[in-house]
Structure 1
Amino acid sequence: MIEKSQDYIINQWLKEYEPINEIAQTEDIHIEGVSETVKNLALQRTGFENLGMKYITDKGWYRQYQYMLLLKSESEIDEQKLTNYDWLDGLSDWLAEKNSKREFPILEDNKKIIEVSCANALNYEQNEDGSISVYYLQLYFNIRKEN
């Protein structure tokens, strides 16, 4: 069996959020950057930070993997901008619910997601006339690997 990467598994898990499928019905969630089409998503890893282990006898590592979820959408009028922020807020709420219920994707290679959170929903960039914007939501996945 071919092992699936952590980023692939997280990408697929995010598609459980129904409004993502409304956007990603013709395209998947891209890796790294948004495409030329108007309405699409991308998940880009921005780094990781080592976190402290709970006990000195713990083996393996504990890290926080950081991602940017990019939403490219129409933003010509204020109503569209507010709709985009509402969409990001809905995703934030869904992630908070998944975190409280401990409903995380199952990773391979003895890795386990311990916590999920997000922050900083904002307008990341826009085209020259302001009709299309890329919105940004920072995602955090605290992952523990046992040896």
Structure 2
Amino acid sequence: MNVIKSVQAWLEGFTGLEFKSFQEILTDFTEELPSSYALAPAGNSKVTEDIMGNRTYQNSYILYAREPAGNEVDRAENYDFLEALNDWIEEQDDKRNYPQLPDSRKVESITVSNIMMFGVDDNGSAVYQIQMQLIYTKRSN
């Protein structure tokens, strides 16, 4: 399993609200109809390397959520869902309950930096995005 699949599996552990939770998180693109979710890489970089060869990386991801947005009630519920997900990610970070990464990688933190509407389709669905940062260390052998 690679890093993005590990993060997807971890996010699928979010039970959501009574009316909304994840069934499956796709890679890169959502399906055309709501409700659909996808996780896309949005950049990565090596942050540090110590004298033992252990490297720390920062991976950025965008979680896209396609949801109905035809009226104010829908849009308010969408933000309730996104805020609940943000709170869940913060709680998991506080508890150090992280995705299980492959090989010798160990998560240091996972945070949310932004939640916003990305766009609206002609069919009345909206795509929201949650920008996240995953910091992990890859131990040298």
Amino acid at match of 2:29: G
Matched, 1:48 2:44: yes
- Secondary structure of 2:65's counterpart equals strand
Q: Which runs of 4+ in 1 moved over 2 A?
A: 22-25
In structure 2, list runs of 5 or more residues that go unmatched: none
- Secondary structure of 2:136's counterpart equals strand
| 8 Å contact kept, 1:23–1:39 | no
Deviation at residue 68 of structure 1 after TM alignment: 0.4
Structure 2 match to 1:34: 30
| 8 Å contact kept, 2:33–2:125 | no
Give the number of aligned pairs: 138
Q: Within 2, Cα distance between the matches of 1:107 and 1:128?
A: 38
* CA-based RMSD: 1.6
Deviation at residue 74 of structure 1 after TM alignment: 0.6
Could you state the TM-score of these two structures normalised by the residue count of structure 1? 0.87
Q: Within 1, Cα distance between the matches of 2:89 and 2:6?
A: 15
Matched, 1:16 2:13: yes
1:63-74 to 2 correspondence within 5 Å? Answer: 63-74=57-68
Which of 110, 125, 140 lines up with 1:116 in the alignment?
Answer: 110
Q: Percent identity at matched positions?
A: 22
| 8 Å contact kept, 2:14–2:21 | no
Could you state the TM-score of these two structures normalised by the residue count of structure 2? 0.90
Q: Which has the higher strand share?
A: 2
